[in-house]
Structure 1
Amino acid sequence: MECPFKGPVLVLDPTGRARDAESAELIARGPATPADILGVHVWAVSDPGLLEELLKDPRVSKDGLRDWPDCESVAENWPLALWVTARNMFTARGEDHRRLRRLVSTAFTPRQVTALAERVEELTAELLDGIAAAGEGGAPVDLREHLALPLPIQVISQLLGVPDDLREGFRIYVGRTFSTTLTPEESQANAALFYGVVDALIAARREQPGDDMTSLLIAARDTEGDGSALTEDELRDTVMLIVSAGYETTLNLIVNAVSQLLTHPEQLDLVRTGKAGWDDVVEESLRLEAPVAHLPLRFALEDIELPGGITVRRGEGILPAYAAAGRHPGRHGEDATVFDVTRQVKDHLAFGHGPHFCLGAPLARLEARTALHRLFERFPRLVLVPGVELEPLDSLISNAPRVLPVLLEDPA
């Protein structure tokens, strides 16, 4: 695709291996800069103040099918097409967004999240028992696989009413949806398989409705068969969105927080001595290591003037660069790249901002806080396996190590 922008274009690394350097480069280039995301040229926005304004600007849309002139020509061979063509509240705008968000919001009220706290504690305790068994005799344990991954998938499966036999499929296909090293053909095949398990879930809940979010969405769809509540495509894509957003991002949050504490033991000591709390750990982790580094994609509904004489033309793409925004020295000072749980200003955009702010943020925080507290309470001598380098996921979207190998007892 021919680049419509003047000046050098920063090609974002699809493997995620240049994350920190990439964030520093984005910040150095100014509030917004031309970038290439898997062959599509966009404006990457790293300045948190400007990003906040754009995330709530009515002149900016997430609806690629309606508001991206290049959508049809690009999406056919773009590995990230599903991110801009799905029909749910993630891509909707205006009244469509409000309609779809209302249907989902009932599952994430403060009362509903509080009611889940006991179940999150139970699941965490069960997983920690499994970790203890896996680490017997000094064997290394991958905390991503044994804690950070199963906790959110079990919680979101309970919310959606996902049968046990479908959970592995969701796990695999969500992970591959966040991958940015797939070919267009692999991405399309993954989307088809993902829709297959979504359709199986919807069929199961239609046959045997329960007190779960999928059943409630089906009831809204089937009661108003004219699509005024939601269409069949919106039903499928909303289920897909809830399981994806409720799983991958919380998983990354837990992995990042644990890895930061284990590589900065002095910060863990601050928590243990009462000088900081687990909420401080969660928020500082979200700031420093945004679980979603870049989130495709938004589109200008009209020409928009940005600082520095930049004009985002109608139809051009805008890419929120959350990983860079969380490390911006303009908001967090010259030590913005330092993990500091006592930092006074920990505000971040890891859950978005404005009308599309993540509904699941309170639940993600609850799961992470519980997992961290109970993990370090149960295993106070937990350490990373010596000499192991934490490699990132193959993604410019998903931001976390691919494995987190630990020893339950410090051999020293």
Structure 2
Amino acid sequence: MAHPRVQKDKRHWRAFNAGEIPPDWPLISWVIAENMLTSDGEQHARLRRLVSKAFTPRRIEHLRSGIVGIVEGLLDGLAAEAERNDGVVDLKPHFAQPLPMTVISDLFGLPTRDRGELHRLVGVFFDQSITPDAAMATFFEMWTLLTTLVAAKRAEPGDDLTSALIAARDDEDRLSEDELIWSLVLIISAGYETTMNLIANAVRALLLHRDQLELLTNGEVAWSTAVEEVLRWDGPGEFVPMRYTTEDIELAGVAIPAGEPLLMGYASAGRDPGRHGDTAHLFDITREDTSHLGFSHGRHYCLGANLARMEVNEALPRLFERFPKLDLAIPVEDLPPLPSIIVSGVESLPVRLT
């Protein structure tokens, strides 16, 4: 991920430049994007510099009290939903999904009427089981929704990140219209989908390891430590397309020619016995080394990492304080996995609040 001869720009992919990758390839929207995730060098530095002006730590910290309020409201909603369903509620749509969706929508000034549609589009965007036609149609729908958002914020700027991105400039340089939309596609979809699944994966992990949950609820281990262990052991970021070799290289004894795509297994790094020893496959919030690649590494490190951590660290302790006997409502093996190679998680997480 830090190799100087491995880059992110599709112009390095021999097959793509030769016209061998069809426009209806299911992952095409991940390749043709023009944003920080798919750029290198000065272009990447320029985009990151402009976007980071709207994504300051001060602005993110300012969100904390609002996030706490959202969490408390969702917990009230969980209790009401469980009362209607004999104590059982699906934590994914009633807690893990609406928290990051509300936060990211408020952050970017997305109208309430569009939030349900954005949730549907982002879900399809990360779904690798759909047809190529459906993938392309979803991409264009998302592009249209965000183009409409930008037009509205350009006409009437507000105290939100979309307006801040529109106004962001570096000397006389600023984001072009396409760069602006592509940045929104990246930040909104990645910031929402991954945090949603991090919350769900964390709850599942702790319910399967109740001895470690007790260490958290009695204060022996910090919640922030547990979140890092979830990111190492079962983080939502599984694979992110693509990186490309700019010259012939050798990785782990394998010769890779120039112009080849690499699909990086971010999640596998957390299970590496060479780094984490013989217990790498075990969930253990007391381990000393919880290092992971959940937010990438190096120059492409996630701008939204602090926001994601804040949301999860505010949500989990409040969830288990409100419902200390929370438990899975069905066997763990019956939880349906997400149809995605990009994010790891489950489609639903039915729990009993007790």
Query: Which bin holds the TM-score, normalised by the shorter protein?
Result: over 0.9
Q: Distance in 1 between matches of 2:219 and 2:163?
A: 43
| Contact 2:54-2:165 at 8 Å conserved across structures | no
- Aligned position for 1:346: 290
Within the candidate set 396, 400, 410, 2:341 is matched to: 396
Does the residue aligned with 1:295 lie in a helix, a strand or coil?
strand
Query: In the alignment, residue 195 of structure 1 is paired with which amino acid?
Result: W
Give the structure 1 partner of residue 98 of structure 2. 150
**Residue 92 of structure 1 aligns with which residue?**
39
Q: Distance in 2 between matches of 1:75 and 1:100?
A: 28
| Conserved? CA contact 2:194–2:343, under 8 Å | yes
The code of the aligned residue for 2:104 comes to: I
**Structure-1-length-normalised TM-score:** 0.82
Give the aligned partner of residue 6 of structure 2: 60
Measure, in 2, the Cα distance between the counterparts of 1:79 and 1:70: 16
Distance in 2 separating the partners of 1:395 and 1:172? 15
1:110 aligns with 2:54: no
Write the distance in 2 (CA, Å) between the matches of 1:314 and 1:229. 33
User: Aligned partners of 1:133 and 1:324: how far apart in 2?
Assistant: 39
**1-side partners of 2:131 and 2:210: how far apart?**
40
The percent identity for this pair of structures is 49
* Aligned mates of 1:287, 1:350 — CA distance in 2: 7
Distance 2:21 2:190 in 1: 24
Q: 1:331-382 deviations in whole A, cap 9, x for unaligned?
A: 1111111111111110000100000000101110110111101100111111
TM-superposed deviation, 1:245: 1.2
How many Å separate the matches in 2 of 1:134 and 1:147?
A: 11
Matched, 1:167 2:115: yes
User: Where does residue 183 of structure 1 map in the other structure?
Assistant: 131
Q: Note the alpha carbon deviations across 1:216-267, whole angstroms, 9 max, x for none.
A: 222348x96xxx4222211111111110111001011100000001111111
User: How far apart, CA to CA, are the structure 2 residues paired with 1:166 and 1:278?
Assistant: 33
Deviations 1:109-153 (A, max 9, x none): 332222111111011011111111101163311111111101111
- Alpha-carbon offset, residue 70 of structure 1: 1.6
1:268-283 alignment, distance < 5 Å: 268-283=213-228
CA distance in 2, matches of 1:187, 1:73: 19
Q: Which amino acid aligns with 1:230?
A: L
How far apart, in 1, do the equivalents of 2:217 and 2:26 lie?
44
For residue 179 of structure 2, the aligned residue among 234, 238, 242 is 234
Deviation at 1:170, TM superposition (A): 1.3
Q: Distance in 1 between matches of 2:68 and 2:299?
A: 31
Give ranges in structure 1 of 5+ residues lacking alignment.
1-54
3-state DSSP class of the match of 1:394? coil
Query: Matches of 1:354 and 1:406 in 2, distance apart?
Result: 38
Q: How far off is 1:277 after superposition?
A: 1.3
Give the superposition deviation at 1:404: 0.6
1:160 alignment partner AA: F
- 2:157 maps to what in 1? 209
Superposition map of 1:372-411 within 5 A: 372-387=316-331, 389-409=334-354
Task: Report the Cα distance in structure 1 between the residues aligned to 2:312 and 2:249, rounded to whole angstroms.
Answer: 38
Which of 63, 73, 78 is the aligned partner of 2:20?
Answer: 73
Of 275-284 and 380-389, the range deviating more from structure 2:
380-389
Determine helix, strand or coil for the equivalent of 1:266: helix
Note the C-alpha offset of 1:164: 0.8
Partner amino acid for 2:15? Answer: D
**Which residue number in structure 1 is paired with residue 303 of structure 2?**
359
Q: 2:232: which partner in 1?
A: 287
| Equivalent-residue separation in structure 2 for 1:330 and 1:89 (angstroms) | 31
Answer yes or no: is the 8 Å Cα contact 2:241–2:263 preserved in 1.
yes
CA contact (8 A) 1:281 1:341 kept: yes
Equivalent-residue separation in structure 1 for 2:155 and 2:176 (angstroms): 19
What is the 5 A alignment of 1:135-146? 135-136=82-83, 138-146=86-94
Distance in 1 separating the partners of 2:95 and 2:53: 27
* Farther-moved stretch of structure 1 (270-279 vs 291-300): 270-279
- Is it true that 1:311 corresponds to 2:255 in the alignment? yes
Displacement over 6 Å in runs of 4+ = none
Question: SS at 1:305's partner residue?
Answer: strand
> In structure 2, which of residues 189, 197, 220 is the aligned counterpart of residue 252 of structure 1?
197
Tell me how many residue pairs correspond in the alignment: 349
Residue 154 of structure 2: SS of its match in structure 1? helix
Q: Any conservation in 2 of the 1:161–1:210 contact (CA below 8 Å)?
A: yes
2: CA distance, partners of 1:361 / 1:264 = 25
Indicate conservation of the 8 Å contact 1:166/1:201, yes or no. Answer: no
Letter aligned with residue 322 of structure 1: Y
- Structure 2: segments with no counterpart, 5+ residues: none
Q: Which residue of 1 aligns with 2:142?
A: 194
Distance, in Å, in 1 between the alignment partners of 2:98 and 2:324 is 22
| 1:108/1:363 contact within 8 Å kept | no
